[in-house]
A and B are shown apart, each in its own frame.
Chain A
Amino acid sequence: MIHWNSFADFLAMGGYGFYVWGSFGVTALIMTIEPIMVARNRRITIARLRRQLRAETRNTAE
C-alpha cells in the first residue's frame, strides 16, 4: 500500500527532494505562522479596545 521502500527513499523524492520539500516546507510554515499572527493580533486588539473602553467610562464618570 505504501509507495516507499524506506524513509530515506521518501526524503529523497526520487531526486526531487529539494523542490518537493521546499514547497511543502514553506506551505507548512505559512499555515503555522498565519494563525499565530491572527491570534496574536486578536489578543493585542482586544487589550487595546479594553483600555480605550475603560478610559472612556472613566471620562464620562467624572
Chain B
Amino acid sequence: MKDRFNLYRFASPAAFYPLAGSLIPWFVAVSVVFGLAGLWLGMLVAPTDFQQGEGYRIIFIHVPASWMSMFIYLVMAFWAAIGLAFNTRLSGMMAQALAPTGALMAFLSLWTGALWGKPMWGAWWVWDARLTSELILLFLYIGYMALTAAIDDQRRADKAGGLLLLVGVVNIPIIYFSVKWWNTLHQGSSVNLTKSSMAETMLWGMLLMAMCFWMYSIAIALMRVRTIMLERERHTDWVKAELEGAAK
C-alpha cells in the first residue's frame, strides 16, 4: 500500500511544482498543433458563410475565447469551493494563477464580439443580455484580482476572493442561457450536443481552435502557478532547495 500511486500527493505544492514544470512543454506543443490545424481549416479551407460572408471567420477566436472565459471562471470557482471547504493551500494558488488568463479571455470575447458586431449589427456595442453579462464576467475577474491583491494576509485574501468567486458563479448560467431567456441581438448558439448549424469544416475549425485555447490556458496557468508557489512557499525547505539548486 505504501507505494500505491496517490493522486492526492499532488495537492502538495512540493509535489505539484515539478509535475507542472514537466507538463508545460507538452501543453504548449499540443496547443500549437491544435492552433495550426484550426487556423488552416478555419482560415484556408472553410467555405464562405451564406449570410455573413467572410466576416463570420471571427467565430474561430470569438467562440473559443468566450467558452474559455466562462470555463476558467468555473474552474476558479471549483478551486475556491475546495479551498473554503478543506483549507487546501493549492486551491488559492490555482485561482490566482487562472484569473489573469480568464480576464484576457473575457476581454478577447468582448473585443472580437465588437469587431463582429460592427459589420453585422451596425454597432460595436449594445446593452444586450449576452454582452452585458459577459462584461460583468470581465469585471468579476478584475474584482477578484483587485480584492486578493489588496489583502496582505494571504489566507484571508484567498478566502475573500473565494467567496467573491462563488457568489459570482451565478453569472455563468446567465451568460450561457441569455440568448434563450431573453430576446437578444446576439445570435443563438451555433453548436450544441445534438446538432450543429454549421458546415463541417467550420465546426471542426472552431473545435480545434477551442482545444488550442484550452491547452494554451492550461500551459500559461501552470507557468504562473509555479511562480506563485515559489513566492508563497518561500520559507519551506523545498523552495529553498529549488532556489539554491538547479535553476541557477
Residues of A within 8 A of B118 (CB): 19
Interchain CB contact (< 8 A) of A14 among B43, B53, B62: B53
Known interface pairs A20-B58, A39-B223; A15-B244 also in contact (CB < 8 Å): no
Known interface pairs A14-B48, A45-B230, A53-B244; A20-B224 also in contact (CB < 8 Å): no
Find out whether the CB atom of B220 lies under 8 angstroms from the CB atom of A19.
no
Interchain CB contact (< 8 A) of B47 among A3, A20, A24: A3
Interchain CB contact (< 8 A) of A3 among B48, B62, B101, B111: B48
Q: Would you call A61 an interface residue if the criterion is a C-beta within 8 Å of the partner chain's C-beta atoms?
A: no
Q: Would you call B208 an interface residue if the criterion is a C-beta within 8 Å of the partner chain's C-beta atoms?
A: no
Give the residue name and chain of the B residue nearest to A4 (CB). B44
Known interface pairs A3-B44, A41-B227, A46-B247; A35-B220 also in contact (CB < 8 Å): yes
Query: When each residue 1-42 of chain A gets 1 if its CB lies under 8 Å from chain B and 0 otherwise, what string results?
Result: 111100000100111101110111011001100110011011
Known interface pairs A1-B45, A42-B226, A49-B234; A23-B62 also in contact (CB < 8 Å): yes
Cα–Cα, bound, A34→B234 (Å)? 24
Find out whether the CB atom of B243 lies under 8 angstroms from the CB atom of A50.
yes
Cα–Cα, bound, A14→B43 (Å)? 12
Q: Would you call B135 an interface residue if the criterion is a C-beta within 8 Å of the partner chain's C-beta atoms?
A: no
8 A Cβ contacts from B213-240 to A: 216, 220, 223-224, 226-227, 230-231, 234, 239-240
Cα–Cα, bound, A52→B43 (Å)? 50
Interface residues of B, count at CB 8 A: 39
Q: Would you call B82 an interface residue if the criterion is a C-beta within 8 Å of the partner chain's C-beta atoms?
A: no
Cα–Cα, bound, A23→B149 (Å)? 30
Find out whether the CB atom of A30 lies under 8 angstroms from the CB atom of B108.
yes
For the complex formed, measure the closest distance between the CB of B168 and the CB atoms of chain A, giving whole angstroms: 22
Cα–Cα, bound, A45→B51 (Å)? 51
Interface residues of chain B, those whose CB is within 8 Å of chain A, are: 43-48, 53-55, 57-58, 61-62, 65, 100-101, 104, 107-108, 111-112, 115-116, 118-119, 216, 220, 223-224, 226-227, 230-231, 234, 239-240, 243-244, 247
Provide 25 A-B residue pairs closer than 8 Å at the C-beta atoms, listed in order of the A residue.
A2-B45, A3-B44, A14-B48, A14-B53, A15-B53, A16-B57, A16-B119, A19-B55, A20-B54, A20-B55, A20-B115, A23-B111, A26-B108, A26-B112, A27-B108, A34-B220, A38-B223, A38-B227, A42-B223, A42-B226, A45-B231, A46-B227, A46-B247, A49-B239, A53-B244
Interface residues of chain A, those whose CB is within 8 Å of chain B, are: 1-4, 10, 13-16, 18-20, 22-24, 26-27, 30-31, 34-35, 38-39, 41-42, 45-46, 49-50, 52-53
- Starting from the known contacts A3-B45, A15-B53, 17 additional A-B residue pairs (CB-CB under 8 Å) come to A1-B45, A14-B54, A16-B119, A19-B58, A19-B115, A19-B116, A19-B118, A20-B55, A23-B58, A23-B61, A23-B112, A23-B116, A30-B104, A30-B108, A50-B243, A53-B234, A53-B243
